[in-house]
Structure 1
Amino acid sequence: MANDAVAGNAPRTATIRPAGGDDPVTGVLAAYTKDLVMAVEETLAAFLATEVDSLTEIDAAMGAFAATARDLVLAGGKRIRPTFAYWGWRGAAGTEADLPPVLPALSALELLHTFALVHDDVMDASDTRRGLPTAHRAVATEHRAAGRRGDPDRFGEAVAVLIGDLCLVWADRLLSRAALPSARLMQTRRCYDQMRVETVAGQYLDVLGENEPASWSLDRALRVARYKTASYTVQGPLLYGATLGGVGVDAPLVEAYTRYGLAVGEAFQLRDDLLGVYGDPALTGKPAGDDLRSGKPTVLLMLARQLAGPVQRARLDRAGADLDEDGVAELAGLVAATGAVGRVEQMISERVSEALAALDVADLDETVRSALTGLATASARRWA
C-alpha cells in the first residue's frame, strides 16, 4: 500500500508521450491492412454521398444535418473496428477470399462507432474529440452564430442525439448491402445485434457508475470495460468477421477469437483509462483529466482507492468538476503514488499475454496470426 507521507507530496506524473515516431497502432495498421483502410474510406464516402443527396431532396436543412453526420464519419480515426473484423474474416474465409463482397459490412462498423462516439460525448459533456469540437458543441456554436431562439446547448445535444441515431440507421443500411448468401447475412446480423446490445449495456453501466461511485467495485469497473469497449472494439468485430467468413458459432475459431477479443478489448480500455489521465491532448484529441473531474469509477481510479492510505483516499474523494489544471496534475500524481498506474500496466500486460496464448492454440494462417499478434501489442501500447 502506498505511503501517506509520500501522498502528502505526490509527484506530478508526466504526460504520456511517444519517444518519437507515430502511434504504434497506426504503424501496425499500415503494415497489416494494406489497402483495407482506403477501401473502407471509399465505401463510406460513396455510400454517404448518396445518403446526403437523398436527405437534401427533402429539405436543404436536412441536407446540412446529414452532411454534418457524414463529416463526423469521415473525419478520421484508425478504423480499428473494421480492421479487427477484416482479420476475423480473413481467419475464417482464407487469405485469398475476395474483399469487395464484405466491404459494406466492414465499413458499417465505422458508422456504428460514430453513433457510439457522438452519444458518448453528449453523456460525458465532452468538449473535444480528435482535437475538434464534439458534435453537440459544434452544433451549439452554429446555433449561436445563426442567432436562433432557444438554448444553444440544449439544441446541440438534441441534434447530436439525432446524428447518432442517423449513423446507427446508416450502419444497418450499409450492412445489408454485403454481397453474401442470405443465411450468412442473417447470421452476421445476429452477431451485429448482440454487439450493439452489449455496447448499450456497457454504456449504461458506465453512466450508472459515475452516479453511484460509492457502490462501485473493481469487478464492475472491469465489466464496463468488457461490455462498453471490448465487445464492440475487438471481440465483437472479430466474431462478426468470422460470421462474414461463414464460421459457425460452435467452431473452435470462435472460441479463440472470443478469448483473444476479450483480453485485447480489456487491455484497450485499460490503456484508455491511463490516457484519460496521463495522455497528451495533442495526441489523444481529448483533454486529460476529465475522469478525475467527474470521479468516473474507472479501473485505474478504483485501484487507486483500494491501494490508497487514509490521507490519500480522503484527497481522492475531494476530486470534483471544479478541479483546475494544477488540481488535475496534483491528483494524477497522487493516483500514481498509490501504485495504481503500475498495477494497471501489469493488467494490460497480462491481457496481452492471454490474447497471444489464445492465438497459439488457434488454427490460423500465419499471416492472420502475425497481424492479430501485432494488433494486440499495438492496441495495448498506443498513445492515442
Structure 2
Amino acid sequence: MLGLRPTVAEQVGRVDGPLTARDAARAVEAELGRLLDEALGRARDTDPVFARDVAGRVASLVLRGGKRLRTAFAWCGWRAAGGSGDATAVLRTGAALELVQACALIHDDVMDGSPLRRGGPAVHVDLARMHEDARMAGPPEAFATSAAVLAGDLALAWADDLMTETALGSPHGPRLHREWQAMRTEMVAGQYRDIHAQATGASGVDEAVTIATLKSALYTVERPLALGASLAGAETAALDALRSAGRCAGLAFQLRDDLLGAFGDPAETGKPADDDLRTRKLTCLLAVGSRLAGDSGDREAADALAPGARAASDDTVRRMRAALERTGARSAVEARITELAAASLRHFDRSGAAPSVRREFAALVERAAGTAPRRAGEAA
C-alpha cells in the first residue's frame, strides 16, 4: 500500500477560508493517494505480478508530479458556475482527469518513442529495463510496448470507474457523463490525427491546429472547465463562455508546449527538448515555420523544416532551431499565445464568475500559457 492518506473532506478541512484552485490542486493529491491505495489493493487481489509490474507503475507516474492544471481548471469551472459547499465531487473529477492524463502520457510516449516523462523514465522504458534486468525471453522493446499499452488502458479504466461513481452520485450526472464521453473520443481522435499526419507528411497550419485542439487543448482546459461547471448545474450561456475560454487557453497551452518541445530545458520540463524536431512531428510551430520559410523563399529553412523527412540528426535539429528563429516562427507563435490568452480571459469574464474566480483563472492561464499576468485595471 502507498500508506494511509487523508480523505478529501479531511484535506479540505485543513484549508482556512474558501478553497482556491491551488488549494484544490493540493487537495487532489491526497485524494489520488487514497484512490490509488485502494486500486492497488484490488490489483493485488486480482494478481500480484500484474499489480507490481503494471498497476504499480501507473500509480507511480500519477503521483510523480505534474502541474495538476486539469484539476485546477475543473475547480475554476465549478466556482464560475456558482459551485460551493461540499467539494468532494469536483475534486474526484479532478482525480479522474489526472488518471486519464496518465493514460494519454503513457500511450503518447510509446507512439513517439519518448524516453523521459516527469523527470524519470517513461513507462515503456522502465518496463524494458525490467525485462532486461530479469533476463526475460524475447526482445525487451516488444514486451515493453505491449505492457505499456496495458498500463495506459488500466489508467483509463481507473479514470472511468471514478468518473462513473462521481456521476452516479451527482444530480447533474448525465451532463457530467456526456462531457466525459466527448472528451475521451476527442483525445483518441487527436492522437490518431497526430500519427496520420506523420504518415502522410502533412504540413499545413490548419492540420496542426486541428491536432493541437483535439489532442490537447480540449481535454486540458475546455473539458475540465465544462466538467466542473456541469457539476454546479451551469446555465447554457455561462457554459458557452467557459467553453470558448477553455478552447483559447488550451490552444495557448499547447503552443507553449510546442515551444518547450523545441527550445525547452529538459531539467525544467522533465522531458526531452528535441523529440518533436527529431521526429518532425507536425506541431503548430513547425507548420508556421515551414509556411514562413516558403513565403520568404528561404530554401535552407524550408529544407530543414520539411515534413516527412527521415529522423533528424543532432546537426539537423540545430539547423531546425535556427530556421524557426530566422523565419520568425518562434516569435509568431509567442505572439499567438499572448493573443489566445487574452481572448480566453475575455470569454471567461462573460461567464458571470465572481472577480476572485476571474483572478484565479487568469493566474491559471498565465501558468498554462507562460504569459505575463494581466495588469490591474487592464481590459479583459
Same-fold call, TM cutoff 0.5 = yes
Q: Who is 2:12 aligned against?
A: none
Greater RCO (CA < 8 Å, at least 6 residues apart):
1
Alpha carbons 1:102, 1:180 under 8 Å: kept: no
Aligned residue identity for 1:328: V
Aligned residue identity for 2:65: G
Alpha carbons 1:85, 1:237 under 8 Å: kept: yes
- 2-structure distance, mates of 1:148, 1:301: 41
Question: Greater shift after overlay, 361-370 or 119-128?
Answer: 361-370
Q: Which runs of 4+ in 1 moved over 4 A?
A: 179-183
Displacement of 1:119 = 0.4
Q: Who is 1:252 aligned against?
A: 237
Displacement of 1:161 = 0.5
Alpha carbons 1:195, 1:232 under 8 Å: kept: yes
Question: Greater shift after overlay, 119-128 or 66-75?
Answer: 66-75
Alignment partner of 2:289: what SS? helix
Alignment partner of 2:220: what SS? helix
- 1-structure distance, mates of 2:365, 2:317: 30
Deviations 1:297-350 (A, max 9, x none): 2111111111112232123339642412x4322320121101111111111111
Displacement of 1:112 = 0.5
Matches within 5 A, 1:21-32: 32=20
CA 1:259 to 1:328, structure 2 compared with 1: closer, same or farther past 3 Å? same
Aligned residue identity for 1:377: E
Corresponding residue to 1:302 among 287, 302, 305: 287
Q: Who is 2:68 aligned against?
A: 79
1:230 aligns with 2:217: yes
- 2-structure distance, mates of 1:356, 1:203: 28
Corresponding residue to 2:259 among 260, 266, 274: 274
CA 1:216 to 1:332, structure 2 compared with 1: closer, same or farther past 3 Å? closer
Aligned residues: 348
CA 1:157 to 1:382, structure 2 compared with 1: closer, same or farther past 3 Å? farther
1:117 aligns with 2:105: yes
- 1-structure distance, mates of 2:89, 2:292: 51
- 1-structure distance, mates of 2:43, 2:305: 49
1:363 aligns with 2:331: no
Displacement of 1:169 = 0.7
Q: Who is 1:54 aligned against?
A: 42
TM-score (normalizing by structure 2): 0.87
Alignment partner of 2:166: what SS? coil
- 2-structure distance, mates of 1:257, 1:52: 36
CA 1:382 to 1:148, structure 2 compared with 1: closer, same or farther past 3 Å? farther
Displacement of 1:382 = 7.0
Aligned residue identity for 2:264: G
1:69 aligns with 2:54: no
Alignment partner of 1:178: what SS? helix
Aligned residue identity for 2:290: R
1:157 aligns with 2:157: no
CA 1:180 to 1:365, structure 2 compared with 1: closer, same or farther past 3 Å? farther
Alpha carbons 2:262, 2:276 under 8 Å: kept: yes
Alpha carbons 1:239, 1:258 under 8 Å: kept: yes
Q: Who is 1:375 aligned against?
A: 364
- 1-structure distance, mates of 2:231, 2:25: 18
Q: Who is 1:171 aligned against?
A: 159
1:288 aligns with 2:273: yes
1:321 aligns with 2:311: yes
Deviations 1:79-102 (A, max 9, x none): 1101100110111133x4221243
- 1-structure distance, mates of 2:306, 2:291: 12
Q: Who is 1:26 aligned against?
A: none
Alignment partner of 2:351: what SS? coil
Alpha carbons 1:102, 1:179 under 8 Å: kept: no
Listed as ranges, the gaps of 5+ residues in structure 1 are 1-30
Alpha carbons 2:241, 2:347 under 8 Å: kept: yes
- 1-structure distance, mates of 2:59, 2:143: 19
Q: Who is 2:378 aligned against?
A: none
- 1-structure distance, mates of 2:318, 2:229: 44
CA 1:181 to 1:63, structure 2 compared with 1: closer, same or farther past 3 Å? closer
CA 1:353 to 1:282, structure 2 compared with 1: closer, same or farther past 3 Å? same
Alpha carbons 1:271, 1:382 under 8 Å: kept: no
CA 1:342 to 1:107, structure 2 compared with 1: closer, same or farther past 3 Å? same
Displacement of 1:35 = 2.7
Deviations 1:263-311 (A, max 9, x none): 0001011111111100011101111111111111211111111111223
Matches within 5 A, 1:167-246: 167-178=155-166, 181-213=169-201, 215-246=202-233
Question: Greater shift after overlay, 146-155 or 41-50?
Answer: 41-50
CA 1:172 to 1:155, structure 2 compared with 1: closer, same or farther past 3 Å? same
Alpha carbons 2:21, 2:73 under 8 Å: kept: no
Q: Who is 2:5 aligned against?
A: none
TM-score (normalizing by structure 1): 0.86
